Structure 1
Amino acid sequence: MRVALTDHAAPVTQMIAATLRQLRAASPGLRLVVSFADTTQGHHGGIYQAGNWIYSGTTDPQTLSYIVHGREIHGRSLRHLAAARDPDETAEAFVRRTIDPQVRAIKTPTLKHRYLYPLDKAMRRQLRARARPYPPRLEVNARA
């Protein structure tokens, strides 16, 4: 789920902290939350840095996306479109057969910063070795 960075009654970091507390209480066996900051959207993960999340690096810079009816969609979205397919049929083949015969795969440059939030002390200790320095805030055109 995306975090919308618009004006809120409470700071976004407080809302995320409250959500994590609720998640921890509702799912006692859950030990780790993973989130991403999309550099193609100008994000560096400041809300995660402010919440003391562990930065573990970036994702693969190439992501497989698809063009369906002239629109680019993420591979995960394509698989959701093909949820009713037979187990031996690929998601792309299902979409080609049922939705868009012209569907095609494309590689898109997507670099996302990965942040980890351990929900217990043992997991935090286990992840210490994966910690990397936080990436700097990306410079955006100066606002007047």
Structure 2
Amino acid sequence: MKPVLRLDFCSHEAARLACRRWHYSKKIPVGKLGKVGAWEGGRFIGAIIFGDGLLGPKRVVYGGVDKFKVAEIVRIALRDHKHEVSRMIAIAIMLLRKRCPGIELIVAFADQGENHHGGIYQASNFIYTGMSEPGRMFKHKFTGRILHNRAVSANGRRSHFGKVRKVPRHDECEIVGRTRKHRYLLPLTSKMRMFVEKLRKPYPKRATSETSDTPGVHPGKGRAARTVALQFPN
């Protein structure tokens, strides 16, 4: 018999612990986050984390969607568990919609560079819409850490949500390649479904070397000032 499954919003500390222990990136994203913890039989097994969509400077994305109505699954960080991940995703989205009723579309990416094809999103009835544009990856010369494009800059500073933070400089890193990710969309309203269905493509097949299927961080290219549909507590 499976243990009792419970999901609820969790603390930043719990979500960060889950990312460090059970996600390949070993870190939690920055910015406003919706952090949903998961428990089986009272044991904490990880977190599903939503971000408010680092989808670039344009207000409209995917050819007609207001990006402020979009939430992105930026982490699924789970230890060994008994219940299906698709069920956990469904419950987490239900909790998110109660807290953020303006959300009409969930986006998720499966990192091809980590041999992920998006099986958990296929099982959750997401609509596959193809590959993302390739993004540059950097390797820090001193620590060996692999960094995404938005985690480095020419002068060692990055502005995020109006706050300037220190990041590695380009000359402290070397480019190690470009990655593309499988993009999945889950419409939450009938009107949004009609729009997203036009973008549907056949599901990609599972990679033979795949051992897990959790999304990485998905940086974008900045953002405009906004009236936020997502109101995540920190």
Q: TM-score, normalised by structure 2?
A: 0.49
Counterpart residue type for residue 58 of structure 1? M
Q: Which structure shows the higher helix fraction? A: 1
Q: Which structure shows the higher strand fraction? A: 2
Structure 1: give runs of 5+ residues left out of the alignment: none
- 2:157 aligns to what? 82
Q: Please give the residue correspondences for 1:119-138 in structure 2 after superposition, counting only pairs within 5 Å.
A: 119-138=188-207
- 2:85 aligns to what? 12
- 1:21 aligns to what? 94
For 2:170 and 2:182, the matched residues in 1 are separated by: 34
Deviations 1:92-144 (A, max 9, x none): xx75xxx5583246262312100001111110111111000100111128xxx
Q: 1:28 to 1:11 in 2, by over 3 A?
A: same
Q: 1:123 to 1:105 in 2, by over 3 A?
A: farther
> Does the Cα contact within 8 Å between 1:24 and 1:119 map onto a contact in 2?
no
> Do residues 34 (structure 1) and 107 (structure 2) align?
yes
CA RMSD across the alignment: 2.9
Q: How far 1:64 moved relative to its partner?
A: 1.7
Number of aligned residue pairs: give it.
131
Q: TM-score, normalised by structure 1?
A: 0.75
Structure 2: give runs of 5+ residues left out of the alignment: 1-73, 211-234
Equivalent position to 2:118, from 19, 25, 45? 45
Determine what percentage of the aligned residue pairs are the same residue: 37
